[in-house]
Every structure is written in structure tokens, then in C-alpha cells.
Amino acid sequence: MVKKRESMPLRNSNDRTIMRHKNLSTEPRRFWLLAMASSVAVALLSACQTPMPIAKPPPPVVLSPEVRAPAPSSPVVSPIPAAQGSARISAATTPRAYRSDGASHLYGLNADRIYKGKMPALLYAIGVLNVEIDRAGRVTKLDWMRAPSHAPEVVAEIERTVRSAAPFPVPDRMGKVVYTDTWLWDQSGKFQLDTLTEGQN
């Protein structure tokens, strides 16, 4: 039995030309694709190596002398300026809490009369005074719990100092208040209040 030869496709010269043409048409595409990919890679690398610009800090704000706040010479809070006394409102809910407001008010109005630093071990006079303040901050009553009877001039000066400091911070939450503080009096005429005292040597 005679086997039939399988017909093999013949590649003529035309087929070879078509194949060569296909190879030539794809080569420029590959070239341009590779060129573009390498350009993108180079651009990314150069972007990563470029340092980020450092932002300059803003210039400092300089306040004019009128606006610049004075540096506090002590931790005592002075009263808010008013024609006389204080325009401040106290948020205290107890006489003990109000005592700090009363003491800082007196310190603010008598800054040049406050003894600086620790007081001497022996004081010229010590007095314990109750002060009654009404809803408008006025002094309505002074009552000595312990008066320095050996120094009547100190008693008179303390009473004058307290009365001239009115109006005190308004005891807004209490309506009125009676608070107690101890006066520590030096022979120089300067004093500290026990609430804000710096102690004794």
C-alpha cells in the first residue's frame, strides 16, 4: 500500500518577505517602548533624589510698646484697672476661696508696701481681721478676731488700707462674703498677708 505524502506548506520567496516585513515593523515599537520606560524610570529616580525645599520659619512677631505686656515681678495677680479698686468679678463659692481674691486685690493696690522675700522671725505686729464685702464689692464691716493691741497705729493703718481698697472683687456667686486673713506687719511699715506670704526666716 502506497503511503500518501503529507503535503508540506511551501515557503516561497513571498512568505519570507512578509515575515521579514513583520519583524521589521515590530522592532521600532519595541525600541520606543523601551526608550519611554527608561525615561520614566530616570525621571522617577531623579525626583526621589531631589531634596524637598525646607520651609523657612515665620519671622517673630514684635509687639509695639503699647501692646507688649509687662513682665510680672511677682506671682500676684493685680486687680483689673478701674477708677478706684477693682473691676474684677470673683468666681469664688466659699469665703476661703474668696480670700485669695481679696489678698491679690490688696497686693495689687499696695505693691510698693509689700515686704519682698521671707519676713524676719520677729514681727512688729500680727493681726487677724474679718472683712465683710457686699454684692457691689464695698466694705461693709471690719471685725478684729485678734488685734495687735500693742500697736494701735498698725490697727488704724490696716483698717484704712482695707477701706481705701474698695470696691473689692464682686462676690458674684455668693452675693456677699465675710472672709478672714492674717496681717503680718514688719517694723518698716511693709506687710504680707498670710494667704500670699513668702514665709519667715
Show pLDDT as tens, one digit a residue, over the chain (201 residues): 555 555 555 455 555 555 555 555 556 666 667 767 777 666 665 655 655 556 566 666 555 444 444 444 444 444 544 444 555 789 999 999 999 999 999 999 999 999 999 999 999 999 999 999 999 999 999 999 999 999 999 999 999 999 999 999 999 999 999 999 999 999 999 999 999 999 998
CA distance 104 to 164: 15
Cell of 77: 495677680
Contact call for residues 168 and 86 (beta carbons, < 8 A)? yes
With H, G, I as helix, E, B as strand and everything else as coil, classify residue 101. Answer: helix
Cell of 15: 512568505
Q: State the pTM of this model.
A: 0.59
Domains in the chain, ordered, with CATH?
Answer: 89-196 (3.30.1150)
